[in-house]
Amino acid sequence: MERRAAGAVEPIAPESAHFVSAASLRVRSDWFNRMRWIAAVGVVLVSLLAVEFGGVDLPLLPIMSTAAVLLAMNASYTLRNRRVPATDIRAELVVVKLQMVLDLLLLTVLLSFSGGIENPFHFVYIIHVLLAGLLFKGGEIRRMALLAGLLFTAEVLGEAAGLVPHHHLASGPEMSQDWRFVSSGLAAFWIVLVCCAYLSASIMRHNRVIKDDLVVRQRQLMAADKAKIDFFRYVSHEVKTPVITAQSAVEAVLAVAGADMAAKPRDLLLRTVERLRQATEIVQGLSDLTRGPLHQGQDVRDVNLNRLVASLLDGQQSLIETRGLRVEARLPAEDVLLRASETMVEKVLGNLISNAVRYNRDGGRLIVAMQDLGDAVRVAVTDEGIGIRPEDLGRIFDEFYRTPEAKAASSLGTGLGLPIVKRFLEQMGGEIAVESEPGRGSTFTATLRRT
Amino acid sequence: MKRTILVIDDDIDLVEIIRLTLENEGYGVIDAQNGARGLELARERKPDLILLDVMMGEIDEGFQVAYELRKGDNTRDIPIIMLTAVADQTGYAFDPEKDSDFLPVDEYLEKPVSPRRLVDLVRKHLPPTI
């Protein structure tokens, strides 16, 4: 659990952009541990099978002892990963490197008991070089490859020179002291070793460049988004009071003196109020849009979505009647409850429903379909109105963007409704999807997650 | 005798807007530009109703004033209408019915102030003349 939590913040962890992070290294280390269990058990099984059914004359006691050492070491690695949190990348790297060196030593010991160069399993060295490529950078990969190569070469030459006892595997001719076999075997081994080291290093380098680039871009995008939101917040904060006061003033003048005014000036003031209402709506929209996730915890409660949808439809009733819309609310029979910020959920569903009313055709259907999926609730709002052209689908969630069709259909609308829907859903861990056919209508589907 | 309404708001223009509207309806209006002065006036003049801006110098100054008014023997029973544009500033969505247990005000009035709604609310608590 702890590891997964740490891994979740990985993409923008500082200082680690150019290399693996402590948490991601730990994930791999856990994977190595699982592989090591398999390797140790494999050694035991393969040796037993070779002796029992293959007629191979292996010294079982030293091999089993080595496997036992490997199992014991792996148990201690596993225990460490459980006990010690992965925080320091350098400490984690040292531990993993040490484990790899010990693995190479044990592999060499095992090979020395099982035929040395005659044993085809000596290519397991190569696997370690590939693994080093996953974890380390250029110089470290080369050093690990060099160590693997030298250990194997020393073992093979030691057997060839008679310094290390040789355990002959097959019934065929003795090869371990034939210099042609030994030298060509070692040459092939080194060629594969060096190529693998080089290839894995360059693939991983390439990989890291791409990853770094992605991290940098992601940060730039987040910074740009934050700058935009800060700007919106600043503007709405500064503009709000004058706009609100101006609207209140004109409305007060109209209320007190409107009846005595000449028609023309009175008409102008009425238009002014209408313009100011639009401005207030934009300011209100910007305020909503820039409301930080900080505030979303403040009115969290169990929201009854059935009741909310009903009351939102109710709020649009006069427009629905004027336009002759046919409303279908396909809600689950049992009330759906969702623990969330009531204001945010209300804004999300309210904006979708009022769009479906505003951009519908006269007499069109308006369908609100709700599904309780257990870990989430899905609300789909469908209209039979103007629809959205495919090329506009990507832009309707941009602030202030209104499609030409939307502008033609209604002079009202701030171009902030859908951006608010998207941002609120993202802040609540949900998402919005849209399907649309120009001239036929649209379906907006909001998924609200239960956390 | 005219009924007196105390408006506590630091936006002098808004105070004048409210004064225009309410005087036109036959009410008397006195005003204060900050919470401290508002409390003083409330105690001295014992207005019949108070219009209180939620957000003056500090974000919740209006609420502090409301609590003080509710504590004072002379001011406890004066109806309070809270002027608020706060919903979009802090994410608080006030609902007097749900929140009345811990919010000591009688009504909320959202800015921009609609004259009709202002007059309706004031009349509800206070008929213009005795």
* Residue from the list B11, B89, B112 with its beta carbon closest to the beta carbon of A247: B112
Q: Report the C-alpha dihedral over residues B39, B41, B46, B51, rounded to 10 degrees.
A: -70
Distance CA A62, CA B55 (A): 82
Assign A19 a pLDDT band (cuts: 50, 70, 90): low
Statement: residue A3 has pLDDT above 60: no
**Residue A429 and residue A447 in contact, taking contact as beta carbons nearer than 8 Å:** no
pLDDT of residue B112: 86
User: Could you tell me the pLDDT band of residue A294, with boundaries at 50, 70 and 90?
Assistant: low
Best B17, B25, B95 residue to mutate vs chain A (most A CBs within 10 Å): B17
Mean pLDDT, range A201-224, rounded to an integer: 91
Peptide bond into A242 cis (omega under 30): no
* Residue A214 confidence (pLDDT): 94
pLDDT class of B128 with cuts at 50, 70, 90? low
At A17, the pLDDT band (50, 70, 90 cuts) reads: very low
Q: Which burial class, exposed, middle or buried, applies to B7 when counting CB atoms under 10 A from its CB (0-12, 13-18, 19+)?
A: buried
Domain covering B4-112 in this structure, CATH number: 3.40.50.2300
Contact between A255 and B24 using a beta-carbon 8 Å cutoff: yes
Out of A244, A276, A299, whose CB is closest to B93? A299
Q: Is B113 on the interface with A (CB under 8 A)?
A: yes
pLDDT band at B63 (very low <50, low <70, confident <90, very high): confident
B95-106 pLDDT per residue, tens: 554 455 556 778
What pLDDT was estimated at residue A444?
98
| B51: chain A residues, CB-CB within 8 Å | none
- B85 → closest Cβ in A244, A288, A299: A244
Per-residue pLDDT at B87: 47
Residue A75, pLDDT > 90, answer yes
Pull the structure tokens for residue A212. 């770094």
Higher local confidence (pLDDT), A70 or B72: A70
Name the interface residues of A facing B (CB cutoff 8 Å).
Answer: 237, 240-241, 243-245, 247-249, 251-256, 276, 280, 284, 287-288, 291-292, 294-296, 298-299, 341-343
Which band of pLDDT confidence, cut at 50, 70 and 90, is reported for residue A324?
very high
Distance from C-alpha of A274 to C-alpha of A250, rounded to nearest angstrom = 10
For the segment B64-79, the average pLDDT, to the nearest whole number, is 88
**B114: which chain A residues are within 8 Å (Cβ-Cβ)?**
251
Q: What is the pLDDT of residues A222-247, one digit of tens each?
A: 999 999 999 998 888 889 889 999 99
pTM: 0.66
Give the residue carrying structure tokens 């740009």: A224
Read off the pLDDT band of A343 (50, 70, 90): confident
Percent of chain A with pLDDT over 70: 94
Nearest CA to A440 out of A356, A379, A383 is that of A383
Walk across the sheet containing B28-32 and list its strands.
Answer: B28-32, B4-8, B49-53, B80-84, B107-110
What's residue B55's pLDDT? 74
Compute the residue count for chain B.
130
ipTM above 0.85, yes or no: no
pLDDT of residue B108: 85
* A269, A280, B42, B121, B128 from B124: Cα distances, Å: 28, 27, 20, 5, 10
Map out the domains of chain B as residue ranges: 4-112
Which of B11, B24, B91 is the closest to A298 by Cβ?
Answer: B91
Residue carrying the six token digits 């380098």 = A205
Q: Per-residue pLDDT averaged across A195-224, rounded? A: 92
pLDDT in tens, B37-47: 999 999 999 99
Supply A253's token pair: 């003048």
Instruction: Round the average pLDDT of chain A to a whole number and report it.
Output: 89
| Average confidence (pLDDT) over A425-440 | 94
Which of A250, A256, A341 would best serve as a mutation to test chain B binding (most B beta carbons within 10 A)?
A256
Decide if A245 and B17 are in contact by the 8 Å CB cutoff: yes
A300 contact residues in B (CB cutoff 8 A): none
Q: Is the pLDDT of residue A402 over 90?
A: yes
DSSP, collapsed to helix, strand or coil, labels residue A182 as helix
Give the integer Cα–Cα distance in Å for B21 and A13. 58
What pLDDT does B107 receive? 85
Contacts of A299 in chain B (CB under 8 A): 91-93
The region of weakest confidence among A14-18, A235-239, A384-388 is A14-18
Q: Is the pLDDT of residue A1 over 50?
A: no
Q: Contact B92/A256, CB-based, under 8 Å? A: no
Q: What pLDDT sits at residue A8?
A: 37
Does B99 lie at the interface with A, CB-CB under 8 angstroms?
no
Task: Check: CB of residue A374 under 8 Å from CB of residue A424.
Answer: no
